[in-house]
Amino acid sequence: MKKKGITYKDAGVDILAGDSLVSKIKPFAEKTKRPEVLDSIGGFAGLFALRGGYKHPTLVSSTDGVGTKLTIALNAGQHSSIGIDLVAMCVNDILVVGAEPLFFLDYLACGKLSVRTASEIIEGISKGCTLANCTLLGGETAEMPGMYEPGGYDLAGFTVGIVEKENIIDGANVREGDVVLGITSSGLHSNGYSLVRLILERVFGPNYLDLTLSYKIASESDSLFELIMRPTKIYVNCIYHLLKDAFSKVHAIAHITGGGPMGNIIRSIPRQYKCVLEASNFPIPPVMEWLREEGNLSNEEFFRVFNGGIGMTLVVEKDAVEQVSSLIKKSGEQVVYLGVVRSRSALESQIEIS
């Protein structure tokens, strides 16, 4: 008796679902299309023609994910904001050298492809690309049964930007007396979520998600869950216009991601300098205060994990603080004074928050 033939679908891979997803995401990608794009989603590669006007065009790239914030999204079945987080974590990174994001690609790996879930994720990616004024140039969706649990998935993002070589911001112009300014975050962004989940479990127990959906912190109208899942802010519009008008006044930029202010600001300044910051100047959101209290976190631990209410920092000339602050506010963002740059001895830390 002839054996019954098996299909790829029997092995757990649904080709038709993949084809369906491609057709659904094309409209999302079209919304992000810049004039430099030469083809559309569905080919083997994305084509992007560099425009003229650069003397020494320098490409800048970054790749990232959203960390264990993804675990909360998976368990809650809410995927709409994760795509924005993914874009933000990549494009904000290339802003620190003064680059303009050009295009973005995503990689979605899953155990069993849900067209609905994937469409929700990629729609969020499209929204993020629109906010960053970059094209969703392409991506890859990989269905890998046995590698991931059914319903489980992982995400990675990749972006490429461009900057004139002579306009690269590398911290070389940082000097003693420069001022450190902070641009406020939208909340936790996409960092510290392993600690967030531990604190939530200790406060509410293993079924913490059900309780956070309705639990509210004093003075906040959104639920604790909504505060935790608030998407990462994208700073492209703010930084682009700031550098357009005050490039020479900005000596260094840092994206405050994993490692918090303690671990990220020092990446943007030369080792002979240190940043002396005042903890009281950080506009710490109520959700972070709640996490700090419930987790009984020390000041150092807190600022090594969470962003303290700051998504980006700028080191600027002392005499340009008012000008830079005005430009940031004009873009719709909030700016705060954090501290100053001082010369550093070999034994001193590069950052002091007290």
Asked whether residue 294 carries a pLDDT value surpassing 90, the answer given is yes
If we measure between CA atoms, which residue out of 265, 270, 262, 290 comes closest to residue 354? Answer: 262
pLDDT-based confidence at residue 2 (cuts at 50, 70, 90): low
Rounded distance, CA 185 to CA 191, Å?
12
pLDDT at 40: 62
Quick one: what percent of the chain has pLDDT higher than 70?
92
Asked whether residue 158 carries a pLDDT value surpassing 60, the answer given is yes
Q: How many helices (H) and strands (E) does the chain have?
A: 12, 10
Mean pLDDT check: name the lowest of 58-72, 107-121, 244-258, 338-352: 107-121
Rounded distance, CA 141 to CA 155, Å?
10
If we measure between CA atoms, which residue out of 94, 51, 95, 53 comes closest to residue 243? Answer: 95
pLDDT at 39: 73
Query: 3-class DSSP state for residue 164?
Result: strand
Strand 351-353 versus strand 273-277 pairing type: parallel
User: Do 143 and 18 contact (CB within 8 A), yes or no?
Assistant: yes
- pLDDT tens digits, one per residue of 10-43: 556 665 666 666 677 677 778 888 888 887 655 7
Rounded distance, CA 111 to CA 120, Å?
17
Q: Please name each of the domains of the chain with its CATH number.
A: 15-40+54-167 (3.30.1330.10), 179-353 (3.90.650.10)
pLDDT at 350: 95
- pLDDT tens digits, one per residue of 176-212: 999 999 999 999 999 999 999 999 999 999 989 888 8
Asked whether residue 337 carries a pLDDT value surpassing 90, the answer given is yes
If we measure between CA atoms, which residue out of 126, 82, 72, 121 comes closest to residue 104? Answer: 126
Give the pair of three-digit tokens for residue 318: 């002392």
pLDDT at 8: 55
Rounded distance, CA 352 to CA 180, Å?
12
Rounded distance, CA 159 to CA 135, Å?
9
Rounded distance, CA 56 to CA 59, Å?
10
Average pLDDT, the chain: 92
DSSP 101-144: EEEEEEEEEESS--HHHHHHHHHHHHHHHHHHT-EEEEEEEEE-
pLDDT at 1: 61
pTM listed for this prediction = 0.93
Rounded distance, CA 303 to CA 297, Å?
9
pLDDT at 272: 96
Asked whether residue 7 carries a pLDDT value surpassing 80, the answer given is no
The predicted model gives 301-309 an average pLDDT of 97
The predicted model gives 270-279 an average pLDDT of 97
pLDDT-based confidence at residue 73 (cuts at 50, 70, 90): very high
Rounded distance, CA 284 to CA 13, Å?
46
DSSP 21-86: HHHHHHHHHHHT--TTB-S-TTSSS--BPPPS--SSEEEEEEEE--TTHHHHHHHHT--TTHHHHH
pLDDT at 270: 96
Asked whether residue 78 carries a pLDDT value surpassing 70, the answer given is yes
Distances (CA, A) of 345 to 99, 262, 271: 32, 18, 9
Q: How many CB atoms lie within 10 A of CB 197?
A: 18
The predicted model gives 286-309 an average pLDDT of 97
Asked whether residue 159 carries a pLDDT value surpassing 70, the answer given is yes
Residue with tokens 């757990």, as numbered in its chain:
12
Rounded distance, CA 97 to CA 162, Å?
10
Q: How many CB atoms lie within 10 A of CB 274?
A: 22
Mean pLDDT check: name the lowest of 42-51, 58-67, 272-281: 42-51
pLDDT-based confidence at residue 150 (cuts at 50, 70, 90): confident
pLDDT at 80: 86
Quick one: what percent of the chain has pLDDT higher than 90?
74
